């Protein structure tokens, strides 16, 4: 193989990085880039004047070669006697650690001289952060772009993480993040792009000419002053000498002072960015604690590999104090192959038995005899586990504030805040101290790679957040849609706006990772809206008062829902539709269109001023079509722009950009059926969303592993396309949640549980049914004749009825007591501590509530008795009517049985009297008059007047003619009287 001269610019750049203590970022384009890693490594070791250095090689799934090179090399030489291949020799003689991207968290706390990243499509911002920050100053970061011929092909590269962004009706995904990634390298003066033959590709202006620099010699005056100040202090005089920066020295001194008191109730927090020497400071402090007489010292981290630096400097500190390995102490390594040869225990036996031992974060049982606990990389440990590790011993914990381990902000904003304010149940009576390290140790303070990474992923955006210049009334504020193509174009003004926007999101939320940046840039269904004050034409970018990141969801076909249920497969994307469809088994809901609030934030200078609620109100108006569209903007296809740019090899910001902020009136709104939000449940967040009109529909049974919170979904219905489903879902959720309070949600605060099950409106249909024995027990307890344990079994029924809207007037505190004791099965003491009341006060309120329940049951009983009496009276009246009808029928039957000759004789007599129709004297067969008289009871008159069937105006009777002479006979007088 013929040798080729390497471009001197590459060699000069590597040498400059070593001289300045800064890292170098190299991208190799081409299919043979793997073989050039060896040559670049040799250039680095020569410039650093070291024989060899450690290498971290990260990949997706498959290496382009076998990682077991030593065994392979010996096998080939033994069987074939072939000469050693240069690349195989490099692999076999170099200390290389191979790590899958999915296991990159295992390298936290380690330091390497060179990093190799292959399979660019599988890389994420989280992985980039974790791995790049393990490289020491002067080291190399090498990115392999295998199969590419131009760096601009990254613009259209489909990343593996894009599969998570695809929904039911996903548009084409645009790699905005990759474009900004490439453009940002133009500001990284220590970056370079080379071909797979190590020829420099002139895509960046700063690589056209690279001149050598002089070696930088730093004078650490402050550190020298500290060393002189503690020269007479025992233990510290030796420890401070091996510290690298003044920040690290001050931190060790502060930790030493806290341990010297031996109060066993101190918590010390060390917060810093990557590479500031936190782990080394902890290791040196552990050595000091051994010298101070601490016997049981425990160290914990996500993995034993993460505490490599801690044990390394702990052993170094013991040696400084004059101890010798195998004579005064022994070092024990793990036997598990997956942890390599990580140190897990140090046994000291110089004066008395002392132990420094590693434990897993969930192995809290071993801490019963602990005197000191050291938590390294606490940001990578789930928050509930960190809280569980705090106890009656001194605790030192370190965390990374940038937050790319996943919970950095979670720890710094939640746990440390609780410890600082003394409100945590673990912080009662404890002292709390904080240390902050800002000066880097692994690399120079002017490291270009660190500055580039911080700017690319906005890792320090919260520190550069600008203050608000004015606070207009919420009614005067304006809503704007943010154009993401322009936002991630790397335009100068767009970059300023992005830094401010991301700073707001990071400050307002404690669950932030660098992956959020790629989600914001590339997810096709995501949208950004901001709220600003009145904007004048030609004015600079306005202050961001509030911002919302939305994700469009829904529109899922019924067929797909049925197939998902049949397969039992959990679908990704469309969080709210899939979750609620599964909860309520309603496949129609999945077809509705909605938007989920991914993140919402308000500028910290103007919190609690109504801007957050205002932006939600304006979004509702926008998505319901109340903001009239004045015309749609003509948007040029980004694919066309990309095609134009791909025609040239120059890497530059696009010149033709659309407006960054678009008035909603100039954009056609998506017509939505609902707005929703999913968040980790807290009382404060629940109150905010409830005040904005959102209703709870889902609360996850299991708590989040990272934050310890239960995921909650709240929705607000915007249209009636499927009826009033919001109210139905909410009522169903409350009933199911109230029945689960005694199980998974038993640990929830009773006040919070009551707010979720509270029924605002009384429901008269809700009943409370007890037998006479149960009512008697409640009555006796209300009169303080028996103990409350006698009626304890009746509480679940009462509490369930109250939560469902039982029509009984109880105070809020009494309802909370019923929920806590009846649904969560908590003791009186537990309820008292949550309500901050004495147990006697709780029992007094409980007794008053039972009295109201007894009164309710008695009134219900009286009402039932009155109703029964009325029903009996109506029944008796109906029986009278039936009897009358029967008597009439019998009379008719009786008349039908009379001899016809008698009937004819009667008719003849009536005819003689002038009466043709005998039915004219028949009374009506109605009962309303009888009922009216019956209600008079004792006031019934002695005579009864009943209406005839027909009204007879005048009764005319034909008298027989009188005799012509003489007085009438007697029978004529009698007939006239009649």
d(CA 602, CA 775): 53
The larger pLDDT score, comparing residue 221 to residue 870, is at 221
Query: 936 falls in which pLDDT band (50, 70, 90)?
Result: low
Query: 336 falls in which pLDDT band (50, 70, 90)?
Result: confident
Q: Exposed, middle or buried by CB within 10 Å (0-12, 13-18, 19+), for 66?
A: exposed
Q: What is the pTM of this model?
A: 0.79
Residue 751 has pLDDT above 90, yes or no: yes
Per-residue confidence (pLDDT) for residue 371, from 0 to 100? 94
- Residue 431 belongs to what H/E stretch? strand 431-437
The larger pLDDT score, comparing residue 587 to residue 637, is at 587
Query: 957 falls in which pLDDT band (50, 70, 90)?
Result: very low
Residue 956 has pLDDT above 90, yes or no: no
110: how many CB neighbours lie within 10 A of its CB? Answer: 16
Q: Name the residue among 545, 529, 485 with its Cα closest to residue 669.
A: 529
Q: Coil, strand, or helix at residue 422?
A: coil
Per-residue confidence (pLDDT) for residue 839, from 0 to 100? 93
Per-residue confidence (pLDDT) for residue 637, from 0 to 100? 46
User: Across residues 19-45, what is the average pLDDT?
Assistant: 93
Q: Name the residue among 305, 420, 426 with its Cα closest to residue 367.
A: 426
Per-residue confidence (pLDDT) for residue 407, from 0 to 100? 40
Dihedral sign from CA coordinates of 70, 71, 77, 78: positive
SS3 of 371-388: CEEEECCHHHCCHHHHHH
335 known ligand binder = no
455 contacts 402 by C-beta, under 8 angstroms: no
Residue 159 has pLDDT above 50, yes or no: yes
Task: For strands 478-482 and 661-662, give the pairing.
Answer: antiparallel
The larger pLDDT score, comparing residue 897 to residue 652, is at 652
Residue 685 has pLDDT above 70, yes or no: yes
User: Across residues 187-205, what is the average pLDDT?
Assistant: 93
278 known ligand binder = yes
Q: Where exactly does CATH 3.40.50.11040 map onto the chain?
A: 8-207
Per-residue confidence (pLDDT) for residue 974, from 0 to 100? 47
Token pair in block for residue 850? 């039972």
106 known ligand binder = no
279 known ligand binder = yes
947: how many CB neighbours lie within 10 A of its CB? Answer: 10
Name the phi and psi angles at 770, rounded to 5: -130, 155
SS3 of 255-310: HHHHHHCCCCCEEEEEEECCCCCHHHHHHHHHHHHHHCCCCEEEEECCCHHHHHHH
Per-residue confidence (pLDDT) for residue 419, from 0 to 100? 73
Q: Exposed, middle or buried by CB within 10 Å (0-12, 13-18, 19+), for 190?
A: buried
Residue 522 has pLDDT above 80, yes or no: yes
DSSP 28: E
Helices (H), 758-838: 772-782, 795-803, 812-818, 828-835
Range in 436-445, 611-620, 742-751 the model is least confident about: 436-445
Q: How many CA atoms lie within 13 A of 483 on its CB side?
A: 19
Residue 73 has pLDDT above 60, yes or no: no
Per-residue confidence (pLDDT) for residue 978, from 0 to 100? 44
Residue 144 has pLDDT above 50, yes or no: yes
d(CA 487, CA 20): 34
275 known ligand binder = yes
Token pair in block for residue 751? 């006040």
Question: Bridge-partner residues for 435, per DSSP?
Answer: 270
Query: 282 falls in which pLDDT band (50, 70, 90)?
Result: very high
Question: Which CATH fold would you assign to the domain 8-207?
Answer: Rossmann fold (3.40.50)
The per-residue pLDDT of the chain, averaged, comes to 83
Q: Which single residue is written with the structure tokens 């590269």?
A: 157
276 known ligand binder = yes
277 known ligand binder = yes
Range in 333-337, 415-419, 743-747, 815-819 the model is least confident about: 415-419
Per-residue confidence (pLDDT) for residue 81, from 0 to 100? 44
The larger pLDDT score, comparing residue 694 to residue 770, is at 694
Per-residue confidence (pLDDT) for residue 425, from 0 to 100? 52
Residue 634 has pLDDT above 90, yes or no: no
d(CA 713, CA 679): 7
d(CA 319, CA 311): 12
835 known ligand binder = no
Q: Name the residue among 37, 35, 44, 36 with its Cα closest to residue 12.
A: 44
Q: Where exactly does CATH 3.40.50.300 map onto the chain?
A: 228-437
Per-residue confidence (pLDDT) for residue 805, from 0 to 100? 85
613 known ligand binder = yes
293 known ligand binder = no
Residue 141 has pLDDT above 90, yes or no: yes
837 contacts 812 by C-beta, under 8 angstroms: no
Q: Name the residue among 924, 925, 944 with its Cα closest to residue 934.
A: 944
442 known ligand binder = yes
Name the phi and psi angles at 482, rounded to 5: -95, 125
Percent of the chain's residues with pLDDT above 90: 47
Q: Name the residue among 805, 584, 864 with its Cα closest to residue 715.
A: 584
282 known ligand binder = yes
585 known ligand binder = no
Per-residue confidence (pLDDT) for residue 75, from 0 to 100? 52
d(CA 145, CA 293): 54
Q: Name the residue among 751, 753, 698 with its Cα closest to residue 726.
A: 698
Radius of gyration of the chain (CA): 43
Distance, C-alpha 729 to centroid of its chain: 20
31 known ligand binder = no
| pLDDT tens readout for residues 214-250 | 887 766 788 888 888 888 888 888 899 899 889 999 9
Query: What is the CATH number assigned to the segment(s) 228-437?
Result: 3.40.50.300
């Amino acid at each position: 193989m013929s040798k080729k001269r390497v471009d001197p610019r590459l060699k000069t750049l590597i040498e400059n990085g070593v001289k300045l203590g800064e890292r170098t970022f190299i991208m190799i384009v081409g299919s043979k880039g793997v073989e050039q890693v060896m040559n670049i490594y040799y250039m680095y070791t020569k410039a650093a004047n070291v024989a060899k250095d450690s290498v971290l090689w990260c990949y997706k799934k498959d290496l382009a070669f076998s990682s077991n090179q030593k065994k392979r090399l010996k096998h080939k030489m033994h069987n074939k006697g072939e000469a050693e291949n240069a690349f195989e020799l490099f692999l076999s003689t170099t200390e290389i650690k191979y790590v899958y991207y999915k296991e990159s968290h295992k390298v936290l706390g380690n330091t390497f001289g060179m990093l190799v990243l292959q399979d660019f499509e599988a890389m994420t911002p989280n992985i980039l952060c974790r791995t790049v920050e393990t490289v020491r100053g002067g080291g190399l970061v090498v990115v392999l772009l295998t199969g590419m011929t131009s760096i601009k092909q990254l613009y259209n590269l489909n990343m593996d993480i894009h599969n998570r962004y695809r929904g039911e009706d996903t548009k084409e995904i645009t790699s905005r993040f990759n474009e900004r990634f490439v453009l940002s390298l133009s500001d990284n003066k220590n970056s370079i792009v080379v071909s797979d033959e190590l020829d420099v590709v002139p895509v960046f202006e700063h690589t056209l000419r690279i001149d050598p620099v002089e070696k930088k010699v730093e004078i650490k005056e402050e550190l020298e002053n500290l060393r002189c100040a503690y020269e007479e202090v025992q233990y510290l005089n030796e420890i401070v000498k091996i510290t690298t920066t003044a920040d690290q020295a001050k931190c060790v001194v502060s930790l030493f002072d806290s341990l010297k008191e031996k109060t066993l109730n101190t918590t010390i927090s060390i917060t810093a960015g990557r590479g500031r020497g936190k782990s080394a400071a902890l290791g040196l402090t552990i050595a000091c604690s051994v010298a101070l007489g601490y016997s049981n010292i425990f160290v914990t981290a996500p993995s034993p590999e993460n505490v490599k630096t801690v044990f390394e400097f702990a052993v170094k500190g013991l040696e400084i104090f004059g101890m010798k390995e195998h004579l005064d102490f022994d070092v024990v390594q793990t036997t598990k192959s997956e942890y390599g040869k990580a140190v897990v225990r140090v046994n000291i036996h110089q004066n008395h038995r002392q132990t420094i031992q590693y434990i897993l974060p969930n192995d809290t049982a071993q801490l019963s005899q602990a005197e000191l606990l050291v938590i390294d990389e606490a940001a990578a440990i789930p928050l509930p586990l960190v809280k569980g590790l705090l106890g009656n011993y001194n605790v030192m914990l370190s965390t990374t504030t940038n937050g790319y381990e996943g919970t950095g902000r979670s720890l710094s904003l939640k746990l440390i805040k609780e410890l600082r304010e003394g409100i945590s149940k673990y912080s009662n009576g404890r002292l709390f101290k904080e240390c902050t390290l800002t000066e880097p140790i692994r690399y120079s303070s002017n490291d270009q790679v660190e500055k580039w990474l911080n700017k690319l992923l906005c890792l320090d955006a919260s520190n550069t957040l600008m203050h608000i210049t004015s606070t207009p009334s919420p009614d005067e504020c304006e809503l704007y849609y943010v154009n993401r193509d322009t936002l991630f174009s790397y335009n100068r003004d767009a970059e300023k706006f992005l830094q401010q926007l991301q700073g707001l999101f990071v400050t307002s939320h404690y669950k932030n990772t660098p992956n959020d940046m790629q989600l914001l840039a590339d997810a096709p269904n995501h949208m950004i809206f901001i709220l600003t004050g009145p904007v004048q034409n030609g004015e600079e970018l306005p202050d961001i008062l509030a911002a919302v990141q939305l994700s469009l969801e829904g529109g899922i076909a019924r067929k797909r829902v049925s197939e998902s249920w049949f397969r039992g497969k959990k679908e990704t994307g469309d969080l709210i539709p899939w979750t609620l469809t599964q909860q309520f088994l309603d496949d129609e809901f999945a077809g509705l269109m909605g938007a989920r609030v991914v993140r919402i934030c308000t500028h910290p200078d103007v919190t609690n001023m109504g801007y957050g609620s205002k932006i939600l109100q304006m979004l509702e108006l926008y998505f319901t079509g109340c903001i009239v569209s004045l015309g749609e903007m003509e948007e040029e296809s980004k694919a066309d722009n990309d095609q134009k740019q791909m025609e040239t090899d120059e890497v530059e910001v696009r010149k033709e950009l659309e407006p960054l902020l678009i008035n909603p009136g100039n954009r056609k709104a998506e017509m939505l059926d609902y707005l929703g939000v999913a968040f980790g449940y807290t009382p404060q967040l629940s109150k905010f969303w409830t005040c904005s009109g959102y209703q709870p529909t889902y609360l996850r049974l299991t708590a989040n592993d990272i934050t310890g919170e239960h995921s909650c979904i709240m929705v607000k219905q915007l249209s009636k396309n499927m009826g009033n489903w919001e109210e139905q879902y909410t009522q169903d959720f409350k009933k199911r949640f109230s029945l689960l309070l005694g199980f998974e949600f038993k640990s929830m605060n009773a006040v919070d549980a009551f707010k979720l099950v509270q029924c605002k409106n009384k429901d008269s249909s809700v009943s409370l049914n007890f037998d006479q024995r149960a009512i008697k027990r409640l009555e006796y307890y209300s009169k303080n004749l028996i103990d409350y344990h006698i009626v304890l079994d009746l509480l679940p029924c009462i509490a369930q009825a109250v939560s469902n809207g039982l029509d009984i007037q109880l105070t809020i505190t009494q309802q909370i007591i019923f929920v806590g004791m009846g649904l969560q099965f908590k003791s009186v003491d537990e309820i008292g501590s949550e309500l901050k009341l004495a147990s006697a006060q709780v029992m007094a309120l409980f007794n008053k509530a039972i009295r109201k329940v007894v009164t309710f049951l008695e009134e219900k009983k009286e009402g039932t008795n009155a109703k029964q009496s009325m029903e009996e009276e109506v029944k008796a009246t109906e029986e009278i009517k039936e009897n009358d009808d029967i008597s009439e029928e019998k009379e008719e039957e009786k008349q039908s049985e009379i001899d016809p000759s008698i009937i004819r004789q009667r008719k003849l007599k009536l005819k003689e009297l002038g009466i043709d129709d005998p039915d004219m004297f028949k009374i009506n067969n109605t009962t309303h008059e009888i009922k009216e008289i019956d209600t008079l009871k004792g006031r019934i008159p002695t005579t009864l007047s009943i209406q005839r069937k027909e009204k007879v105006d005048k009764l005319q009777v034909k008298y027989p003619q009188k005799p012509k002479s003489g007085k009438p006979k007697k029978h004529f007088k009698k007939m006239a009287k009649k």
